[in-house]
Amino acid sequence: MTGTAKTHAKGFKPEAKKHLGQHFLHDANVIAMIVHAVDPKPGDRLVEIGPGQGAITFPLLDRHGELTVIEFDRDLIFPLTETARAHGTLEVIHRDVLTVDFSALAHNGGPIRLVGNLPYNLSSPILFHALEHAAAIRDMHFMLQKEVVDRMAAAPGSKVYGRLSVMLQAYCQVIALFDVPPAAFRPPPKVDSAVVRMIPLAPDRIGIDDHALFARLVRDAFGQRRKTLRNALSLVCDGASIEAAGVRPDARAEQLEVAQFVRLANWLRAHDKVLPDPSAS
Whether 228 and 252 have beta carbons less than 8 Å apart is answered as: yes
Strand-pair partners of 46: 113
Beta bridge partners of 49: 70, 116
Instruction: Give the separation between CA 196 and CA 175, rounded to whole angstroms.
Output: 6
3-class DSSP string for 257-274: CHHHHHHHHHHHHHCCCC
Give Cα 149 to chain centroid, integer Å: 9
Beta strands in 51-192 (DSSP E): 66-70, 89-93, 112-117, 137-145, 172-180, 185-186
- Angstrom distances, CA of residue 49 to CA of 94, 158, 216: 11, 30, 29
Backbone angles phi, psi at 200, to 5 degrees: -55, 140
**Rounded CA separation 44/113 (Å):** 7
H-helix or E-strand containing 25? strand 24-25
Q: CA triplet 132, 274, 163: central angle to 5 degrees? A: 45
Binding site for S-adenosyl-L-methionine: residue ranges? 23, 25, 50, 71, 96, 117
Angle between helix 146-153 and helix 123-131 axes, rounded to 10 deg: 40
Amino acid at residue number 141: H
Mark the binding-site residues, compressed into ranges.
23, 25, 50, 71, 96, 117
